[in-house]
A and B are shown apart, each in its own frame.
Chain A
Amino acid sequence: NAGVMQNPRHLVRRRGQEARLRCSPMKGHSHVYWYRQLPEEGLKFMVYLQKENIIDESGMPKERFSAEFPKEGPSILRIQQVVRGDSAAYFCASSQGAGETQYFGPGTRLLVL
């Protein structure tokens, strides 16, 4: 049973470009959460999605960031017009049911030059 998968593991972008981060939840999990981790800081919640629905996006910056979890395929976190401050590790987690234990993927480390 494969765990949560994320790709790419490392992503380098120049300022102004777009970054697309993908997350495939564990088999049987339909709840996906995205977190951002800045160096020497804890995980900060960004968004919680179920299939085709955004349930809670209270942690998402109002501009440039968006997330989706389509009926088919992985969840995608999209960052438009990246800036250096977007450089961080972005983790995805999934759970079987709402509020249940979240299992994390290996993260995508985004570096904006």
Chain B
Amino acid sequence: EDKVVQSPLSLVVHEGDTVTLNCSYEVTNFRSLLWYKQEKKAPTFLFMLTSSGIEKKSGRLSSILDKKELFSILNITATQTGDSAVYLCAVGYSGTYKYIFGTGTRLKVLA
């Protein structure tokens, strides 16, 4: 059965800390992996990853995909209270246009 597993389920850190969120997957015919940030509203798009080993960066956030080991990580450096959210990972696969979402990692950044 295709699945996406995120870890940890929740995380509490202090401002300035660096965090690494994990997303592992088991899908047939992998096509792409997406990261979203969800606060109390719509998930907002962060990154799309399709190729192994190529880091994507946006400010303090970065992400990389390992298609051999079937996982991706999302790094946030110098965390701020505004980074507090649920971070969702979604994997899409060929033959269908839907994405399978993980249950998310709930990050809380304390001042």
Contacts and interface: CB of A to CB of B under 8 A. Distances in A.
A43 B98 contact: no
Given A42-B88, A99-B92, A107 B41 contact: yes
Interface of A: 3-4, 31, 33, 35, 40-45, 48, 55-56, 58-59, 91, 98-99, 101-107
B41 A45 contact: no
A106 B42 contact: yes
Interface stretch (B14-22, B30-38, B56-64, B73-81): B30-38
B99 interface: yes
Nearest to A6: B42
A58 B97 CA distance: 11
B3 to A, nearest CB: 11
Contacts of A106: 41-42
Interface residues of B, number: 23
Contacts of A99: 31-32, 92, 97
22 contacts: A31-B97, A41-B103, A42-B4, A42-B101, A44-B101, A45-B99, A45-B100, A45-B101, A48-B98, A55-B97, A56-B96, A56-B97, A56-B98, A58-B98, A98-B97, A101-B45, A102-B34, A104-B36, A104-B42, A104-B43, A105-B42, A106-B42
Contacts of A43: 43, 88, 90, 101
Contacts of B48: 101
Q: Which one of A91, A98, A102, A106 has the highest number of Cβ atoms from chain B below 10 Å of its Cβ?
A: A102
Contacts, number: 56
B44 interface: yes
Contacts of B90: 43
B65 to A, nearest CB: 15
A42 B5 CA distance: 10
Q: Which one of A4, A101, A105 has the highest number of Cβ atoms from chain B below 10 Å of its Cβ?
A: A101
Contacts of B42: 3-4, 91, 104-107
Contacts of B4: 42
